Chain A
Amino acid sequence: MSGREMTGAAIVIKALKDQGVDTIFGYPGGAVLPIYDEIFKQEGIRHILVRHEQGAVHAAEGYARSTGKPGVVLVTSGPGATNAVTGLLDALMDSIPLVCLTGQVPTSLIGNDAFQEADTVGITRPCTKHNWLVQSADNLARTVHEAFYVATNGRPGPVVIDIPKDVQFATGTYIGPGQAVHKTYKPQVKAPTDAIAQAVAMMGAAKKPVLYTGGGVINAGPKASQLLRQLVEMTNFPITSTLMGLGAYPASGDNWLGMLGMHGTYEANNAMHDADLIVCIGARFDDRVTGRVDAFAPDAKKIHIDIDASSINKNVFVDLPVVGDCAHVLEDMIRVWRSKSVQTDKAALETWWRQVDTWRARKCLAYKKSDKTIKPQYAIERLHQLTKDRDTYITTEVGQHQMWAAQHFHFDEPNHWMTSGGLGTMGYGLPAAVGVQLAHPDALVIDIAGEASIQMMTQEMSTAIQFRLPLKVFILNNEYMGMVRQWQDLLHGGRYSQSYSEALPDFVKLAEAYGAKGIRVSDPADLDEAILEMINSPVPVIFDCLVDKKENCYPMIPSGAAHNEMILGDDEDGAEVTEEGKMLV
């Protein structure tokens, strides 16, 4: 044996180090004390003590999403593990690579309803990509290495390793990462050449094409974003993106249509609806994107590039599936395009662009300006303007503020936008900002929040203070769970059942209570100066931006409607929600 004998707890730390881990987000407890003891004895890995295990997982997501490296979480058994569940599912839905280590009661007590026992592998099975219960210290090193492999290869996702306390104390043999090879999980990264050739031919022949990209491009690494930009330049196709894919193609780019989907732009959604070819790259035809499926892009041929074969033909039938990693597929497509000197139909594309320009001229993101109240869109616009020349990372919570951020904060680079897309987890943004700021200590990290969402994870301000993370929480405070209220307006006769944010804390005093800085603004004339004060503060800031209480988020495709049946901000009575639409979420 080339291995070394050590305790299970020491094996865990050694394996993490050999995997290149420098940061763990966690919270101690009885069933993980041996591992915490090993953390105490070493220096290479820093442990970030959160205030709630869900915060640890979101912080690890922020860390992972902004660096491209897997995030690592360490929590105790029972409530430690169950508190992590929301974060794990969030990471699964958004394909974020995480390795979450959970303590477990000793093997002799498993099944006995022991103190802080939970069936962690049972509970986390449907909310992880894979999980393991390690029954012997000898299996520990291999399992940790395998876990990193599974989390980061193929479509990334979270994995859980459940480690009983006696296994942490027991002695086992350590093996290095190279000695642990996975026997079944070997995802296909290169797509078949005939699929590539066919895709290129279809693109060359298209008259009304649109590129529809998603988080898969970000997950495929910075090279994929570079290749995507090349492809756009080569083809001159219009490009739109999902919420998760923002930044892969720059929002300042000429071919950018803005985000598509429920709160996407008029031009993006109409382009999707009228297209004759949709090239989906690393996105999954999610219901927030397609609207009514039977009215989705009725005349378009569809190419779907995805590393996960189960994403293909799940919601929408596609004409050409291309299973592979976005970076590999884009590289091959560009190579084939060049080697065959494929020409697009320039005349048709020109007509198509003219059509797109008429949609753009609708200025769907316009809103009524005010000098009395701060419009939330205006707040985001100013935030973008005043931060765009810095290295700025944005996280969000979930709701209207999230959609306004996606619409009005324009991203030019990948990995700079962290949001909970699939699961829609309120409370994501602040802990995610903790993770981002740790990975990028000199960057400006802003959590764009709502006054309701922020209260789901406010305790992580304490983490930010402890680790001197100068992150900013920018609250669009309209005293409502705005998106809930917007749907109550649309679907429930304006009966605002439980959507008013009653008994709000004084966010300035709350900031001060944590040892952070609090800023409050309500006058649009003071906004710029206050934002600059926030940016220039070397400490964490909670910025309480009191915005127009009644503003709703447009444009919007009401549920059950098609892409060309959008409600625009200045035309609110335009569309009706069907009975069928009311059933949808």
Chain B
Amino acid sequence: MTMDTPATGNTRVSKASQGNLIASAGHVNDFELTDEERHEIEHEMGHYENPRAASIGALKIVQKQRGWVSDGAVIAISDVLGIPSSDVEGVATFYSLIFRQPVGRHVILVCDSSSCFLTGHDELRDALSNELGIGLGQTTGDDRFTMLPVCCLGACDRGPALMINEDLHGPVDPGDVSALLERYT
């Protein structure tokens, strides 16, 4: 498995993950961390008393380039950290910003906490849904966008707010959604 971008690699990554279900039953795991990923994870481990502490960081490192975390990646990370893959899986499925299935090239996090709720979250979410043809938790057919709810983004003075990838936007007028999304191709 090489470093595919999520834009073109989703189908192949999915096949790889099917292979890893077999791998966990005794076959070869065909997922490999890149040297850079391995190096970054090992660097992260050095910051803590115990390598386990780097598990969340390691999942984020893998996700950074690949967009999501496949079964094979979970196993590979557990090998580097020296902990059971079930522990890594437990962590990966607990945290909302770790994706265990493929996501679009751009992830939209829509803040649905109280201040944004009071300043127009529902209208903004509906405008996004209409524009993209998907609901929360779904990915567009062209793998361009995934839309997810998120806890208070700490941008309550700019509600309704959302994040696209690492960019914070707010207040977002539902009427401006189309123009905003065009910036993410």
A binds B: no
Chain B residues engaging chain A, CB cutoff 8 angstroms: none
